[in-house]
Chains A and B, each alone.
Chain A
């Protein structure tokens, strides 16, 4: 089995395709990661970005402001 290159491995991570890759391809990428710290760093950075997008980048709007907007909308749209 020929190991994938750094570019192929990092492209797969940037596409978010590692977990859905076919088994043989995933095995090739895992073996590549064992010997390549550049790609391990790239993968960690992609994971950090995904975590941040899920948890901190899009905060929930302020509750009081949301409630005030609901009241404004009801007044406006009922009228």
Chain B
């Protein structure tokens, strides 16, 4: 029982933060954390220690979150962001006129941060989770791939598209001020 208490004490906060990062409401996020612990306790024998316990729990959380999103058919519109990016260059690979637009400040002001946070809400749950694990949790590429069940190459493309999407959104938000 002490082990359970330690588990809950140590991992509730990062798991809750992760569920919120995936874009769930506070009540859904709390339910997901509970489901994650229940699933872990039921199948704890399957944990072989090949990844860290935290990564293993994040993996369960991610899959539970994906199930919940599917059940609600919460799909994010898929726009071909690479085509949007490519269209900003001429055949020689140089920027077309007026591109890129948006902020060029060196420091992160509150206004820019708020715009980026709003844009991040529009990313898919997978992209948000990848960013959360990479930037907020500082997980390695290998651990992130384990959680998301994707290859190195897939993760690289996923993050590339997510950064382009964020920049594109930031540009549009900035222009519309």
> Which A residues are closer than 8 A to B by beta carbons?
5-8, 10-11, 14-16, 36, 38-42, 44-46, 48-61, 65-66, 69-70, 72-74, 76-78
Contact = CB atoms under 8 A, between A and B. Distances in A.
Contacts of B30: 65, 69, 72
Contact of B117 (A7, A42, A52, A78): A52
Contacts of B41: 77
B137 to A, nearest CB: 9
Interface string B1-13: 1001100110011
Interface residues of B, number: 52
A56 B108 CA distance: 10
B120 A73 contact: no
Given A11-B160, A66-B13, 17 more contacts: A7-B86, A14-B160, A42-B100, A48-B112, A50-B135, A52-B120, A54-B135, A58-B17, A58-B136, A60-B17, A61-B16, A69-B12, A69-B33, A69-B34, A73-B34, A77-B8, A78-B1
Contacts of A57: 21, 116-117, 120, 131, 135-136
Interface of B: 1, 4-5, 8-9, 12-13, 16-17, 20-21, 26, 29-30, 33-34, 37-38, 41, 85-86, 89, 92-95, 99-100, 102-106, 108, 112-113, 116-117, 120, 131-132, 135-136, 156, 159-160, 163-164, 166-167, 170-171
Given A5-B93, A50-B135, A54-B136, A61 B13 contact: yes
Contacts, number: 137
A6 B86 CA distance: 11
A29 B77 CA distance: 34
Given A48-B116, A52-B116, A7 B89 contact: yes
A56 B135 CA distance: 11
A46 B37 CA distance: 36
Nearest to B29: A61
Nearest to A67: B12
B113 A56 contact: yes
A45 B100 contact: yes
Given A51-B108, A69-B30, A60 B116 contact: no
Contact of A76 (B20, B34, B99, B100): B34
Contact of B92 (A5, A59, A77): A5
Contacts of A69: 12, 16, 30, 33-34
